[in-house]
Amino acid sequence: MAGVLTADECAAPLARVSGSDLQVPLVQGGNRTYVNFDYAASAPALSQVTDRVAALLPTYSSVHRGAGYASRVSTACYEKARESVSRFVGAGEDQVVVFTRNTTDSLNLLAGCVPGSTVVLDIEHHANLLPWKNSRVVRAADTLAETVQLLVAELCSRPTALLAVTGASNVTGEVLPIAALAEVAHRCGARILVDAAQLAPHRRIDIEAWGVDYLVFSGHKLYAPFGAGVLVGRPDWLDAAEPYLAGGGAVRNVTVDSTLWAPAPARHEAGTPNVLGAAALATACDVLSDLDFDRVAEHESALSARIRAGLGSVDGLEFLRLWADVPDTVGIVTFTIDGFEPGEIAAYLSAEHGIGVRDGRFCAHPLLERLGRPTGAVRVSLGLGSTSEDVDRLVHAVCTLVDGKRAWIYVKEEGQWNPVPETRFSPDAQV
């Protein structure tokens, strides 16, 4: 488990990311360096990722079917990207890597391949709740241990093809015991899919050691915001299913009367693929594969602890948490403050302090309902570029708000909180 580092030890970011010196305007005048606390929604690009994309652009070309030099380079780069993803997640030789647009796309793809019913928890992001065609939703219990028992009971109560579960909650950051859940699923005759959208940027993944059958994540949450995601997993269901999209690239041979589809991954990648997105994602995977994830866990755990310590005594502030018996949480701290709407807090942090957080229900409406926050919360999410100075700015800003010392007026218009007057954006501003 991660130890607690001091503020000095967390003063430097763990990696160079784009936008780290971005200056943003404040509503009361002047500029400040932007504090990005919205990594869980979309993370900034690693500098190695932007460098790699820029370096590839001159040889960017069609893949698989071109004879030109640039086409051969692009094809090699696209196919090699699968190896980087495979290494990053610890996939076995027999597992395939399918490139998609994002986690949602990957989950929808797999949902079309599952030959039976799927069991999910009610704590999931909508992307892992809605695509499953024949699903049973288990309501999480008050402890993780009890929740696992409920899952076992449901999985074994009738034939189930798949347990689809998140690796880490996008609302509370709590990490689920994936190896134990894989063992449970297999014992009950089911396979397991892990939605690693929030886990992959924060913890080392080892799907072979954990016994995971399918894993999905998004490039834009893994410091590679170039429009690619992945589905990694066993090929048999993928090869037996209808292609995700019908079209060129997914076939071996077509006549007017018949189509011979290719096996995965090509079967589910019809059309011209996102070569640069795949290369960007592969570069992020390579960089993260070489990273010391214990250090990542220590860094974000110390920063999260600093936020909790700084905000813990704020009147009316409550942190959201699902279970008391979860040993590990990724760098997400979510809270509400009595007397303030989440959108109002987020608008104030942005307008007066140049701090970007997320507010709302985080595409997890059932979970927010069960946490007693049907109108939402404020989520602070950390990443490789976060520092103790960022945290101190956040704590200072929230304390100033609660002390009644905000400088501006905020008004809710059509469901969105805005500073009034808004001085930061001129109508002619180019964005």
**Residues with catalytic function:** 363
What is the C-alpha to C-alpha distance for residues 108 and 111, in angstroms, rounded to an integer? 5
Q: Find all residues with CB under 8 Å of 146, minimum gap 6, and list them.
A: none
Pick the closest to residue 290 from 95, 103, 84, 96 (CA basis). 84
> Kind and range of the H or E element at 99?
strand 96-100
Among 50, 104, 336, 418, binds ligand PLP (CB under 6 A): 104
Vertex 419: Cα angle to 414 and 425 (nearest 5):
95
Q: Which stretch binds ligand PLP (CB under 6 A): 89-97, 101-109, 130-138, 333-341?
A: 101-109
> What does the per-residue mask of binding to ligand PLP show for 52-91, with x meaning CB under 6 A?
----------------------------------------
Q: Rounded to the nearest whole angstrom, what is the least distance from the CB of residue 391 to ligand PLP in the complex?
A: 22
Among 86, 128, 350, 386, binds ligand PLP (CB under 6 A): 128
Q: Find all residues with CB under 8 Å of 1, minimum gap 6, and list them.
A: 327, 328
Measured between alpha carbons, how far apart are the two ends of the chain, in Å? 43
Q: Which stretch binds ligand PLP (CB under 6 A): 9-17, 123-131, 175-183, 372-380?
A: 123-131
**CB 305 within 8 Å of CB 388:** no
What is the C-alpha to C-alpha distance for residues 347 and 340, in angstroms, rounded to an integer? 11
Among 163, 197, 357, 371, binds ligand PLP (CB under 6 A): 197
Q: Find all residues with CB under 8 Å of 7, minimum gap 6, and list them.
A: 306, 388, 392
Q: Rounded to the nearest whole angstrom, what is the least distance from the CB of residue 366 to ligand PLP in the complex?
A: 13
166 binds ligand PLP (CB under 6 A): yes
Between residues 129 and 351, which has the closer beta carbon with respect to ligand PLP?
Answer: 129
Q: Rounded to the nearest whole angstrom, what is the least distance from the CB of residue 380 to ligand PLP in the complex?
A: 15
Q: How far is CA 254 from CA 114, 247, 259, 262, 266, in A?
A: 26, 10, 4, 11, 15
108 binds ligand PLP (CB under 6 A): no
Between residues 161 and 230, which has the closer beta carbon with respect to ligand PLP?
Answer: 230
Task: State whether residue 36 is helix, strand or coil.
Answer: strand
Between residues 128 and 304, which has the closer beta carbon with respect to ligand PLP?
Answer: 128
Q: Which amino acid is at 413?
A: E
DSSP string, 130-145: SS-SSEEEEPP-SSHH
User: Which two three-digit tokens encode residue 409?
Assistant: 């007026």
Q: Rounded to the nearest whole angstrom, what is the least distance from the CB of residue 281 to ligand PLP in the complex?
A: 12
Q: Rounded to the nearest whole angstrom, what is the least distance from the CB of residue 125 to ligand PLP in the complex?
A: 4
φ, ψ of residue 222 in degrees (nearest 5) = -115, 35
Among 198, 336, 350, 387, binds ligand PLP (CB under 6 A): 198
127 binds ligand PLP (CB under 6 A): yes
Between residues 202 and 220, which has the closer beta carbon with respect to ligand PLP?
Answer: 220
Among 50, 74, 84, 103, binds ligand PLP (CB under 6 A): 103
Between residues 343 and 419, which has the closer beta carbon with respect to ligand PLP?
Answer: 343
Q: Rounded to the nearest whole angstrom, what is the least distance from the CB of residue 294 to ligand PLP in the complex?
A: 23
334 binds ligand PLP (CB under 6 A): no
Residues of this chain that bind ligand PLP (CB under 6 A): 102-104, 125, 127-128, 166, 170, 195, 197-198, 218, 220
